[in-house]
Amino acid sequence: MAARYIEIDNSSNSVNEETITIRITGREKTIISISNYKPISIIDEFMDNKGYRFVYNGMILNPALSFAFYKIKNNSLIFAVKGKESNLDTEKKSNSQIDKTHQLKDYFQRNWAHHFANPEQAFENSQNPSIVKEALRIHDLSLERKESSISEFRKLTSHFREETRINENRIKSRYQAAD
């Protein structure tokens, strides 16, 4: 990570203007005259490379805020640090995502396709977030309607108790078989 630092020079003439001296390692000195009410992002315009993060007094500076907001005075030190390059290959990541989609589609075809009149459309709908959100909302409404009825609530709870008892018996039988 290459560290660069920005030093605010005290050679300014007006109260609202400050001269910022940027010293970049391995480069010549660049002097910029700038108002302390300008945003931090203005420094990026004068640098050869974009994408630096600016650090002052142990804080990462928000590029939208001004020098005055952070109370940056003359002779203050600002570090410009280049972010770490991403080591993820986007092509590999997208291919991996495509492979997962194919695996999911195969799983759907083997285990769930027979439940639907049009399995291809059902699978496509399951990939659309707005359709999934609406389907879950409708499902929640139907469960809410069932839970509001006393008889339906009893059916749901008895079904839940029965499933819980079956699962407990399966777990006990596995532990007994292991002994």
Model confidence over 152-176: pLDDT tens digits?
Answer: 888 888 988 999 999 899 888 888 8
14 and 64, same domain (yes or no): yes
Other residues' Cβ atoms within 10 Å of the Cβ of residue 6: 25
Q: Which of 76, 74, 77 is nearest to 5 (CA)?
A: 77
Structural domains of the chain, count: 3
7 and 57, same domain (yes or no): yes
Kindly report, residue by residue over 59-95, the tens digit of the pLDDT. Answer: 888 888 888 888 877 667 777 777 666 666 666 666 7
pTM above 0.85, yes or no: no
> What span, in angstroms and rounded, lies between the C-alpha atoms of 39 and 61?
10
- 60: burial class by Cβ within 10 Å (0-12, 13-18, 19+)? exposed
CATH number at residue 59: 3.10.20.90
* Distances, alpha carbon 91 to alpha carbons 78, 83, 127, 138, in Å: 37, 21, 21, 37
User: Sorting pLDDT into bands at 50, 70 and 90, what band is 133?
Assistant: very high
Domain assignment of residue 150, given as a range = 140-179
7 and 39, same domain (yes or no): yes
Q: Which of 75, 61, 70 is nearest to 20 (CA)?
A: 75
76 and 32, same domain (yes or no): yes
Give domain status of residue 88, yes or no: no
